[in-house]
């Protein structure tokens, strides 16, 4: 009976360690690491292409990472999980069961990032006035033809901050 307890304790410990394992990855290009998950957040560090990172958490289209002495947020699609060397990307669990040794498959992988949390979707409310206002900004056939034939100059449109106020000027 004592052997069963020992085996159960080992299984629980290994399962807990596996569940708590952090995801490892690498950067796909040179990156600015942000203090918060926003494009206009302050830059807290820089990482070169193929820098090894550890993923801490995810939020919408952002992931919080740590690498050496740098910790912060980067865009989700700027990091690939696994090892930069494709020959070393097979996980230990997959290797135990022989997965990944069957050759190529015809499956296609698609990544979509919406940027909404589950809470955002639960609290969403329709706003017909804003939808109608947005439709008014669409260029019609006559407007597009006029713009194509004329000598128009570009106009700066200000960005807006989180409070909805113009920040001024084109970035």
156 occurs within a structural domain? no
pLDDT at 161: 76
Rounded distance, CA 137 to CA 132, Å? 9
- pLDDT of 40 higher than 70: yes
**Based on the structure, what is the number of domains in the chain?**
1
CATH number reported for the structural domain that contains residue 52 in this entry:
2.30.30.40
pLDDT in tens, 116-157: 777 877 888 889 999 889 888 887 888 878 887 887 776 777
- pLDDT of 47 higher than 90: yes
In this prediction the pTM is 0.45
Rounded distance, CA 47 to CA 62, Å? 16
Rounded distance, CA 113 to CA 86, Å? 24
Structural domain harbouring 65: 22-85
Measure Cα distances from 25 to 17, 76, 84, 137 in Å.
19, 11, 8, 42
99 occurs within a structural domain? no
- What residues form DSSP beta bridges with 70? 67
Kindly state the tokens that stand for 77. 């699609």
153 occurs within a structural domain? no
Rounded distance, CA 136 to CA 143, Å? 12
11 occurs within a structural domain? no
């Amino acid at each position: 009976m004592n052997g069963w307890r020992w085996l159960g304790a080992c299984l629980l410990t290994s399962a807990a360690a596996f569940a708590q394992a952090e995801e490892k990855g690498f950067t796909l290009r040179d990156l600015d690491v942000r203090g918060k998950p926003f494009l206009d957040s302050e830059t807290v560090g820089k990482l070169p292409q193929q820098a090894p990172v550890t993923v801490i958490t995810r939020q919408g289209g952002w992931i919080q990472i740590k690498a050496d002495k740098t910790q912060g947020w980067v865009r989700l699609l700027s990091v690939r999980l696994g090892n930069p060397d494709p020959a070393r990307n097979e996980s230990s669990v997959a290797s135990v069961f022989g997965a990944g040794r069957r050759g190529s498959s015809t499956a296609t992988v698609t990544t979509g990032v919406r940027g909404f949390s589950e809470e955002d979707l639960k609290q969403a409310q329709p706003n017909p006035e804003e939808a109608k206002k947005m439709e008014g900004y669409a260029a019609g056939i006559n407007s597009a033809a006029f713009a194509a034939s004329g000598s128009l100059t570009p106009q700066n449109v200000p960005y807006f901050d989180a409070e909805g106020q113009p920040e001024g000027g084109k970035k």
